[in-house]
């Protein structure tokens, strides 16, 4: 079975499902993208790692990382190996120095762990053909998804969070204070939005 390496492109709000998010994985050596709908908690766990936020106490995935490292178990790769009725199935490949073991996992959890262990994420060509999306850019710069019929259930629309619009009118100094407070209160979703706004201003 040939494996295709994926990178985490980002997370956006999903307009199609209330309270859900779209996790987008990108083919490392190609243009195809896989959108996966995940819940708020799972999206938060992934966003925290992507944003480099440091929670005051370990979250569930951080605890898994600490536990594994303590007992010298490494997560060497994550594989999204099956797509059935719109659900992606994943497995963790672990190495304790003596044996290599595969463990079934939800894809959102597997991605959150892969980011923490800094291990590669793979899928199969069959899944890429069924669920992959290619963004075509027309002359006006608008993007249109091009995909197979099998991937229709993965349609996503992205909308801006009202909170992110509100942050545009706040001073940088106040944003930094709000970021510290959000992390202290373990409100990581808001912390991620504040960090995005700070980074956006730094790029100007």
Residue 203: how many CB atoms within 10 A of its CB?
5
- The pLDDT score that the predictor gives to residue 152 is 37
* CA 26 to mean position of chain CA atoms: 11
- The pLDDT score that the predictor gives to residue 130 is 92
Sequence-distant (6+) residues with CB within 8 A of 112 are 42, 45, 46, 49, 61
- The pLDDT score that the predictor gives to residue 164 is 64
- The pLDDT score that the predictor gives to residue 119 is 97
State the Cα–Cα distance between residues 146 and 165, nearest whole angstrom.
30
State the Cα–Cα distance between residues 156 and 152, nearest whole angstrom.
9
Full DSSP string of the chain: --EEEEEEEEEEEBSSSTTEEEEEEEETTSSEEEEEEEEHHHHHHHHHHHHT---SS--HHHHHHHHHHHTT-EEEEEEEEEEETTEEEEEEEEE-SS-EEEEEEEHHHHHHHHHHHT--EEEEHHHHHHH-EEEEE-TTS-EEEEE-GGGGGG---B---HHHHHHTTS-HHHHHHHHHHHHHTT-HHHHHHHHHHHHHHHT-
- The pLDDT score that the predictor gives to residue 146 is 45
Q: Which residues of the chain have pLDDT under 50?
A: 137-160
Phi/psi at 9 (nearest 5 deg)? Answer: -80, -35
- The pLDDT score that the predictor gives to residue 2 is 81
State the Cα–Cα distance between residues 128 and 67, nearest whole angstrom.
33
Name the residue among 94, 95, 114 with its Cα closest to residue 103.
94
Q: Pairing state of beta strands 121-124 and 74-84?
A: parallel
- The pLDDT score that the predictor gives to residue 121 is 98
Looking at the whole model, is its pTM more than 0.85? no
């Amino acid at each position: 079975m040939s494996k295709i390496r994926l990178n985490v492109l980002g997370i956006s709000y999903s307009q199609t499902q209330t309270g859900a998010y779209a996790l987008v994985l990108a083919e490392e050596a190609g243009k195809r993208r896989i959108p996966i709908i995940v819940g708020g908690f799972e999206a938060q766990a992934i966003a925290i790692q992507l944003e480099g936020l440091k929670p005051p106490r370990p979250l569930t995935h951080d605890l898994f990382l600490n536990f594994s490292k303590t007992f010298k178990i490494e997560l060497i790769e994550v594989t999204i190996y099956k797509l059935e009725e719109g659900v992606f199935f994943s497995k963790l490949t672990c190495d304790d120095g003596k044996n290599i073991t595969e463990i079934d996992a939800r894809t959102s959890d597997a991605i959150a762990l892969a980011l923490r262990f800094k291990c590669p994420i793979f899928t199969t060509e069959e899944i890429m053909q069924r669920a992959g999306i290619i963004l075509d850019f027309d002359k006006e710069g608008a993007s249109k998804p091009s995909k197979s019929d099998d991937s229709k259930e993965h349609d996503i629309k992205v909308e801006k969070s009202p909170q992110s619009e509100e942050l545009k009118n706040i001073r940088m100094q106040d944003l930094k204070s709000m970021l510290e407070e959000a992390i202290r209160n373990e409100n990581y979703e808001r912390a991620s939005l504040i960090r995005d706004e700070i980074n956006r201003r730094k790029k100007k």
